[in-house]
Amino acid sequence: MKKVIYTDLGRKAYMEAWALQQELLERIRAGKKNGRQEQNHLLFVEHPHVYTLGKSGDEANMLAGVLQLQAKQAEFIKVDRGGDITYHGPGQLVVYPVIDLERFGWGVKEYVFRLEEVVIRTLEFFGITGGRLEGATGVWIAPGTPVARKICAIGVKCAGYVTMHGFALNVSTDLDYFTCINPCGFTDKGVTSVEMETGKQVALATVKEAVLQQFREVLGMEFE
């Protein structure tokens, strides 16, 4: 088990959470350079309405104009993670691991696979069958079928084998906000949420506990 500092940030603006991640990442990298082991971190957060575009994304996938964004009280921010465009907002659990992959013995590909596995096993707890879609990151419902729909987006940055960004799991998210974008660049696939799939109200706190348990089991984390 690897010790990790777990912090629930509550609801926080996207750029505030980004700045914290960047600070922690640089601290870990500096420690590695100087032969010092800094602590790994796992951050949970809920963001106000915001659309983020990854560094390799296509801005054409942002379908709404400035006035529409203002009407929805949403921001549009270009970020330094992988992946295309996605939405963050209330009712969505956003998870940012800031960890040294070398301490865990993983490459980036295995790390992303394990993040997907955390979500897939979490969904099982709520009676939902999630899976992977070939050629795409994230977790999907009914992947490979005409009704494939995304329930969790994943986009990470890795600098010197230290990670930031992570995944966003739709729990009770207002899915109408996804109509302003081509989610993750897809024009032929939908999005969904835990509540949409179960037809029940699901407390975000309950989902957090389930996700934490899977970080223990799948990534071997011990929380402080």
Active site residues: 184
Determine the distance from the C-alpha atom of residue 119 to the mean position of all C-alpha atoms in its chain, rounded to a whole number: 10
Amino acid at site 64? A
First-to-last alpha carbon distance for the chain, in angstroms, is 12
Contacts with 16 (C-beta within 8 Å, 6 or more apart), sequence order: none
Q: Which two tokens stand for residue 8?
A: 């629930």
135 burial type by CB count under 10 A (0-12 exposed, 13-18 middle, 19+ buried)? exposed
Q: Over the range 45-72, which residues count as b (16 or more CB within 10 Å of their CB) and which as e?
A: bbbebbbbbbeebeeebbebeeeebeeb
Q: 87 - beta bridge partners?
A: 51
Of 160, 126, 156, 155, nearest to 141 by C-alpha is 126
